[in-house]
Amino acid sequence: MAASALYACTKCTQRYPFEELSQGQQLCKECRIAHPIVKCTYCRSEFQQESKTNTICKKCAQNVKQFGTPKPCQYCNIIAAFIGTKCQRCTNSEKKYGPPQTCEQCKQQCAFDRKEEGRRKVDGKLLCWLCTLSYKRVLQKTKEQRKSLGSSHSNSSSSSLTEKDQHSKHHHHHHHHHHRHSSSHHKISNLSPEQEQGLWKQSHKSSAAIQNETPKKKPKLESKPSNGDRCM
């Protein structure tokens, strides 16, 4: 059963559980890091990068060898016009859907009306190819965020309420205890540091004087240190 649940990575052919492989390309984590999905410098389509120096897709690499460096397309301005003044994508779309119209997002005249087929995927908007990709990414990201927020909110709603109640009770008790402690502290010592230091010096001086003073006339006073500061 365990062996049948493993699927091969399309790059390294090692077998992994299906959920560990990427959607579409079905690559393992190591291959996704070593060969990330990047955008072609020319046609802007996504492809799996074979090396860090590889910045154009295989199709554009073949066209460069055959036709040379491409020029910007007269419709979408993407640098992918290898033959003539239009890129292959706009040429095919014009044949299928007619002349391009103004994109509602970038305002360029490079959006082809795919009728219900394409507009359904972008909330009925008329968008060019690049803006369609961007819009779909935003929709997917928003959908994932709502899904994660919804699950986390449902799981933590009840516990967060009890934690909040406990925190408020603890805070009230701590504040009351701190108030009693601070008030008693103020009763004990409501003098300034200078006053406290002056009193300490004065008491220290008087006690030293009492210890150093020796009675001359009546030695019996030594047994009564409380009368040692009187002069008979």
The reported pLDDT for the residue numbered 120 is 72
Look at residue 27 and tell me if it is in a domain: yes
Give the residue-averaged pLDDT of 170-181. Answer: 48
Owner of token pair 């579409």: 24
Predicted TM-score of the model (pTM): 0.52
Look at residue 197 and tell me if it is in a domain: no
Q: Residue 10 above 50 pLDDT? A: yes
Rounded CA separation 35/11 (Å): 9
The confidence band for 23, taking pLDDT boundaries of 50, 70 and 90, is confident
Look at residue 107 and tell me if it is in a domain: yes
Conformation bin of residue 22: beta by default, left when phi > 0, alpha when psi is -120 to 50: beta
The count of structural domains within the chain is 3
Higher pLDDT, 85 or 166: 85
The reported pLDDT for the residue numbered 99 is 94
Look at residue 29 and tell me if it is in a domain: yes
Higher pLDDT, 30 or 110: 110
| Claim to verify: residue 15 and residue 48 sit in the same structural domain | no
| Claim to verify: residue 109 and residue 143 sit in the same structural domain | yes
The confidence band for 48, taking pLDDT boundaries of 50, 70 and 90, is confident
The reported pLDDT for the residue numbered 60 is 94
Look at residue 91 and tell me if it is in a domain: no
Give the residue-averaged pLDDT of 3-12. Answer: 76
Higher pLDDT, 140 or 225: 140
Rounded CA separation 128/105 (Å): 8
The reported pLDDT for the residue numbered 118 is 65
Q: Could you give the percent of the chain with pLDDT greater than 70?
A: 62
| Claim to verify: residue 78 and residue 119 sit in the same structural domain | no
- Check if the beta carbon of residue 76 is closer than 8 Å to that of residue 110: yes
pLDDT tens digits for range 64-100: 999 999 999 999 999 999 999 999 999 999 999 999 9
| Claim to verify: residue 24 and residue 40 sit in the same structural domain | no
| Claim to verify: residue 24 and residue 41 sit in the same structural domain | no
Identity (one letter) of the amino acid at 191?
L
| Claim to verify: residue 40 and residue 81 sit in the same structural domain | yes
Average pLDDT, the chain: 73
pLDDT tens digits for range 192-232: 555 555 554 454 444 444 444 444 444 444 444 444 444 44
Most confident of 31-40, 84-93, 116-125: 84-93
Q: Between the CA atoms of 86, 87, 92 and 97, what dihedral angle is there, to the nearest 10 degrees?
A: -60
The reported pLDDT for the residue numbered 77 is 94
Tokens for 59, please give them.
């199709």
| Claim to verify: residue 105 and residue 128 sit in the same structural domain | yes
Beta strands in the chain (DSSP E): 6-8, 15-17, 37-39, 46-48, 71-72, 79-81, 101-102, 109-111
Rounded CA separation 61/80 (Å): 11
Residues 6+ apart with CB under 8 A from 81: 70, 71, 72, 73, 74, 87
| Claim to verify: residue 70 and residue 46 sit in the same structural domain | yes
Look at residue 125 and tell me if it is in a domain: yes
| Claim to verify: residue 45 and residue 28 sit in the same structural domain | no
Q: Residue 178 above 80 pLDDT? A: no
**Nearest CA among 71, 135, 73 for reference residue 103:** 135
State the residue range of the domain holding 1: 1-33
| Claim to verify: residue 73 and residue 108 sit in the same structural domain | no
Rounded CA separation 204/197 (Å): 10
Look at residue 176 and tell me if it is in a domain: no
- Check if the beta carbon of residue 191 is closer than 8 Å to that of residue 200: no
Look at residue 132 and tell me if it is in a domain: yes
The confidence band for 2, taking pLDDT boundaries of 50, 70 and 90, is very low
Q: Residue 112 above 50 pLDDT? A: yes
